[in-house]
Amino acid sequence: MSEKSLEYGKSEAVDAYEGPVITSSNEDVKAPSVIVSTTPPAPDGGTRAWLQVAGSFLVFGNLWGLTFAFGSFVSYYELTLLPDLSSSTISWIGTTSTTLLIFGGIVSGPLFDRGYFRSMLIVGALVETLGLMLLSLCTASYWQIFLTQGIVTGLGNSLLYIPGLTLVGRAFTKNRSLAMGITTCGAPIGGIIYTITFEHLISRISFGWTVRIMAFIMLSTYCIAFPMILWRVKNLADLAPDRPRKLFDASALRDLPFWSYTSSNFLIFCGYMVPFYFMASYGQIELGMSRSDANYVLVISQAASVLGRLVASYAASKTGVMIPWIVCGLSSGILCLGWIGVKSSGAFIVYAALYGCFSGALIPLPPSVFPVVCPDIKVLGARMGMSQGIGSMASLIGPPIAGALTSIGATAEHRNYLGLQLFGGAIMAAGGCNLAGLWILLIRQRGLKSKLI
């Protein structure tokens, strides 16, 4: 395989959380049975490539949009549909769906490698939409909601995650970061749309019809997105013709930079979704805001997240990734601690906008550092998957732990949001500090010529 092909595979693995091109070494294969890559060079744009960006933007709007909009569901469940359940119990619904999205995406990666991306997109969209349709039929039953919104929807998302990212990454070379940044901006935009839709309809029609309309919106956007994504896309199964993608690399367990990177992400993502899950309920319970006003504060935070992602991506192109990553990680933790002092609606809006802006940068930046953490392309995909799998556990347990803290010393009128705020802020700040340690490790152990990673 040519050096150019190796570099192309490496970039894809970074941007798309996908495994690298599998090559064969002299000790594994006897000549002349060497596997030759038939992968064409990246087209670096063009009409087809930008159509894939637009289509994947819509896919991400559904995948992560529902995740970011879950705060509006939490508020409704806590105060109306499931008032007898704790915040911790309710938050398990959203975190289970998010964990299945991330972890299931890792497991489904080999399906993409073998060329089943069309089937993954179609089946994933149908399963995710089915989950919402079934949710619309649920009564005030926690387990019905958990199975439909948490399990079924999460399983559908897991099939959509890898194709939505990877097909875009393979269509660009120089403009790959810009294309991936635009694609991931679909997440907060989708969150804004679904939050506003939920808030606008829930007070006018039933919960069931509100969710059904959201499902119809989802299905219609997929019908628009898939033709754009799949137009003239060839079968990509030849990237790994004889061997499945490696999912585990034992040598990573002895690599200190790998653990520093993974632990930093784990700490940050333990607290990352906490404000998004509980902003709306905090505004209603503690500040006396209406449900509509509290949900629109969540929308403001999501809108600021779009700005944060774009600004951070631009800054990273000028200063390297580590500086904006550390700044945004520490700032997000400090802002979460600053939430403690928010006692008015105006201050709450300012806090939500600032948190959305700084925390939004924490999504697109980490993958760009991973080739330095793992310079060996042969195990890059496996180690990325391992790190993601561990990180998904943080997304699973973080909000439920924070929710459980609100019940300590709670009364009928107020909940103990102080514990939630301290937990989210402290653990994210610890992750930001850990990133500084990762930066030092990479400079010392990877022999880098520049400190701007």
Q: Per the domain annotation, does 9 fall within a domain?
A: no
Q: Count structural domains, the chain.
A: 2
pLDDT at position 32: 40
Q: Per the domain annotation, does 95 fall within a domain?
A: yes
Distance in angstroms (rounded) separating the CA atoms of residues 451 and 320: 9
Residue at a domain's end among 241, 266, 292: 241
Burial class (CB within 10 angstroms; exposed 0-12, middle 13-18, buried 19+) of 83? exposed
Flag whether pLDDT at 446 surpasses 80: no
Distance in angstroms (rounded) separating the CA atoms of residues 210 and 11: 41
Distance in angstroms (rounded) separating the CA atoms of residues 222 and 360: 24
pLDDT tens-digit readout, 221-252: 999 999 998 887 765 544 444 455 667 788 88
Q: Per the domain annotation, does 13 fall within a domain?
A: no
Residue 338 and residue 306 share a domain: yes
Q: Per the domain annotation, does 184 fall within a domain?
A: yes
Q: C-alpha angle 255/390/358, rounded to 5°?
A: 100
* Range ranked top by mean pLDDT from 107-111, 160-164, 326-330: 326-330
Q: Which of 62, 71, 82, 95 is nearest to 291 (CA)?
A: 71
Q: Which of 208, 284, 239 is nearest to 1 (CA)?
A: 239
Residue 349 and residue 200 share a domain: no
Residue with tokens 């040598």: 251
Confidence of residue 103 (pLDDT cuts 50, 70, 90): confident
Residue 418 and residue 287 share a domain: yes
CATH of the domain at 409: 1.20.1250.20
Residue 361 and residue 222 share a domain: no
Residue with tokens 């063009």: 46
**Mean per-residue pLDDT of the chain:** 83
Residue 204 and residue 64 share a domain: yes
Q: Per the domain annotation, does 393 fall within a domain?
A: yes
Confidence of residue 450 (pLDDT cuts 50, 70, 90): low
Q: Per the domain annotation, does 1 fall within a domain?
A: no
Backbone angle region of 30, left / alpha / beta, with phi > 0 → left and psi within -120 to 50 → alpha: beta
Residue 411 and residue 305 share a domain: yes
pLDDT at position 21: 36
Residue at a domain's end among 184, 219, 241: 241
pLDDT tens-digit readout, 186-201: 999 999 999 999 999 9
349: how many CB neighbours lie within 10 A of its CB? 17
- Judged by DSSP in three states, 51 sits in helix
Distance in angstroms (rounded) separating the CA atoms of residues 299 and 297: 5
pLDDT tens-digit readout, 326-343: 999 999 999 999 999 999
Single pTM value for the model: 0.81
- The answer to which of 13-27, 52-66, 274-288, 395-409 has the lowest mean pLDDT is 13-27
CB 167 within 8 A of CB 56: yes
pLDDT tens-digit readout, 352-387: 999 999 999 898 888 878 888 887 777 777 788 888
Distance in angstroms (rounded) separating the CA atoms of residues 188 and 65: 6
pLDDT tens-digit readout, 45-78: 678 888 989 999 999 999 899 999 999 999 899 9
Residue 291 and residue 212 share a domain: no
Q: Per the domain annotation, does 3 fall within a domain?
A: no
pLDDT at position 326: 94
Q: Per the domain annotation, does 37 fall within a domain?
A: no
Question: What is the span of the domain harbouring residue 94?
Answer: 44-241
Q: Which residues touch 129 (CB under 8 Å, ≥6 apart)?
A: 156, 215, 218, 219, 222
Flag whether pLDDT at 12 surpasses 60: no
Residue 255 and residue 211 share a domain: no
Residue 382 and residue 429 share a domain: yes
Please provide the DSSP assignment of 149-188 as one string: IIIIHHHHHHHHHHHHHHHHHTT-STTHHHHHHHHHTHHH
Q: Which of 146, 403, 183 is nearest to 275 (CA)?
A: 403
Q: Quick one: tokens of 144? A: 């019905």
Q: Quick one: tokens of 418? A: 């102080």
Residue at a domain's end among 241, 261, 281: 241
Residue 263 and residue 155 share a domain: no
231: how many CB neighbours lie within 10 A of its CB? 12
Residue 51 and residue 177 share a domain: yes
pLDDT tens-digit readout, 29-44: 343 444 444 445 555 6
Flag whether pLDDT at 408 surpasses 60: yes
Burial class (CB within 10 angstroms; exposed 0-12, middle 13-18, buried 19+) of 288? exposed
